[in-house]
Amino acid sequence: MNRAGLEEHFDLKGRPALDRLLRFEAPIAARYDAEHSAERVADLRSAILVGLVFYNLYNITSFALLPDTIGLSLILRLGMVTPLALALVWAIGRISPLWTERFVAAAVFGTYVVPVFLFWNSHSPLGLFTFGELSLTIIFANMLLTLRFFYAILFTSGALAVTLLAIASKSDLGTPLAFAFTVQVLTACAFALYANYREERRRSLDYLATLSAKLEASGAHEATRTYRDLSLTDALTQLPNRRSLTDQLEKAFGQRRPLAALMIDIDHFKSYNDTLGNPAGDDCLRRVADCFARIAANTDGAFCARFGGEEFTFLLQDRGELVAARLARLILRDVTNLAIVHPARSDGLGIVTVSIGVARASWGATGSPQDLLHAADAALYSAKRRGRNQFSLWDSQAEQSTVVI
């Protein structure tokens, strides 16, 4: 999507919008996911696998601290959480970025509930020492997994709620310890969530700054291309202009491609313009130019440009004199079929016609684009001298033109 498609999602200062929960608007989020989803999946997979290793190491401490629930600890950690975590590692590369974030947040919350339950369920005097594991899990989710800030809020709020519920309902926990544990979990949640916010804000703003720079660069490139196109286009007829014609000629001569040039002039155009006025003259030029554009579009290897005034030029990949002559006849016929009324012709024909000079590039002798145009122009004036509404072929050997009606 280019800047024009994204600009409605920028703020008043021209920066991409970002809400208070550090979420991109949908088009920007889709672009971010397309660019970074593979990297995100790789980071999540490695973090989950590392976290899973340390998570199961707590089974070792459970033998000493939770002897009354060691069996339950092994079942929950190794038998339930571990296979589900491995399934998540496999799945997150195969589901959408949105559902990846949702599943990861839900999974880490489920993982967190297990040590909370073991802490609450155990009546071992040493079981209270497992409370520190809860803070580490909260920090892991917010800082190592780096949950997206919206899901970090949901996870941290849920973790705080179940922990406070466990503290409040644990019958063998005295008030001083309950107070101390409450302060610890509140501190852990606030610290981890703040760290997550800083990291996510930095990630989001860095991406938006990069995106803005890319879009500005793209906009500048598009503007440059637009200005270049305008500089190569005739404003009145929308055909390529003489500068564009020169570029095409130099390119063809540089590649030594066989080339034919047709120089075309609207017959008696001055009298048409003087009689009907400039607006009518401009309209006549546009209609003839449209006709030429259609012919060029339907002719393989053809290029048409406005040479200047009422003159136009066709360039054609040269495939022989007969092909160039066939194109000249087609142009004469189609312009005549336009039936543009010309009330001021001295020959009494009464409609707009054109005269054409045809020349072909000769690679057997030294030549230039200007030589080709001069030859086509000479052939054009030969056609005009002999009555107009016809074309003339330039004979490079005899250095004269042959008129064909």
In one-letter notation, the amino acid at residue 117 is: F
CA 357 to chain centre: 45
SS3 content of the chain, % helix, strand, coil (to 5): 65, 10, 20
Catalytic one among 310, 311, 321, 399? 310
Neighbours of 210 (CB within 10 A): 11
CA 302 to chain centre: 31
Is 310 annotated in the active site?
yes
- Dihedral over alpha carbons 385, 386, 387, 389 (to 10 degrees): -100
- Dihedral over alpha carbons 331, 336, 341, 345 (to 10 degrees): 90
How far is it, in rounded angstroms, from Cα 342 to Cα 138? 87
Nearest to 372 by CA among 248, 266, 271, 286: 248
Q: List the alpha helices (DSSP H) in 122-148.
A: 131-139
User: What is the DSSP-derived secondary structure letter of residue 341?
Assistant: B
Q: Residue 311: left (phi > 0), alpha (psi -120 to 50), or beta?
A: beta
* Radius of gyration of the CA atoms of the chain, in A: 40
Angle at which helices 175-231 and 26-65 pack, to 10 degrees? Answer: 150
* Catalytic sites, residue numbers: 310
